[in-house]
Amino acid sequence: MSRVDDEFKNRVYELVGSIPEGRLATYGQIAALAGAPWAAWEVGQIAHFGPRYVHTTSDCLQDELVTPPKFSAPRGVAGSSTHSSYPMYDSLRASPAPSDALECERCGGSPMPWQRVVNKQGGLARGYSFGGLDGHKRDLEKEGVKVSDDYVVDIKALLWQPEISR
């Protein structure tokens, strides 16, 4: 498996969609459950660039492909004068709809609960797609999750533990 392939992304989407309201998961936990315990960062990228809705038809995603972001290497690193794209972003999809929309306008799909994914210390995401830290806090508080003034949740009390089928 490459670092991020469609199979891994689909498992991430399925897992995130399974997190119950009022419960939370960590990026590393989702990565491990999806079969790649080293891929916490990739889960964060999938959350940031991934679909905003659990779409009910595959047609709904056809025109939502994101142009892979361009990064430049830090100064002093070989190739720092050029830009390169990372292939892991090639098939990540985004939907521009606002976070308070109750369903996808085109297929009626429900919002993907990305707000329920936090870091291993319970910290919220600065890069949360719907308003950064304040948006992440707002969306969690809508579900009754208490968020501290420094944007941290009680991950030990709220950690989701899915049933593992053997």
pLDDT, one tens digit per residue, over 70-111 is 333 233 333 322 223 334 433 443 433 344 555 677 776 667
Given the DSSP bridges, would you call strands 83-85 and 70-72 parallel, antiparallel or unpaired?
antiparallel
Mean pLDDT, the chain, whole residue set = 75
Question: Angle at the Cα of 27 (from 111 to 51), degrees rounded to 5?
Answer: 30
Q: What amino acid occupies position 54?
A: V
Q: Which residues contact 150 (CB under 8 A, 6 or more apart)?
A: none
pLDDT reported for residue 99 = 47
The contacts found for 140-144 with CB under 8 angstroms, 24 or more apart, are 140/115, 140/116, 143/21, 143/22, 143/115, 143/116, 144/21, 144/22
| Per-domain boundaries in the chain | 6-68+86-158
Tokens matching residue 153: 């949740």
* pTM given for the model: 0.70
* For residue 16, pLDDT beyond 80: yes
Mean pLDDT, range 126-137, rounded to an integer: 91
Query: For 18-56, what is each residue's pLDDT tens digit?
Result: 999 999 999 999 999 999 999 999 999 998 887 776 666
pLDDT category of residue 152 using cuts at 50, 70 and 90:
very high
* For residue 69, pLDDT beyond 50: no
Q: Rounded to whole angstroms, how far apart are CA atoms 56 and 60?
A: 8
CA distances in angstroms from 129 to 74, 117, 158, 166, listed in the order given: 25, 13, 22, 35
pLDDT reported for residue 96 = 38
Q: What amino acid occupies position 20?
A: P
For the domain 6-68+86-158, what is the CATH code? 1.10.10.10
Q: Rounded to whole angstroms, how far apart are CA atoms 45 and 40?
A: 9
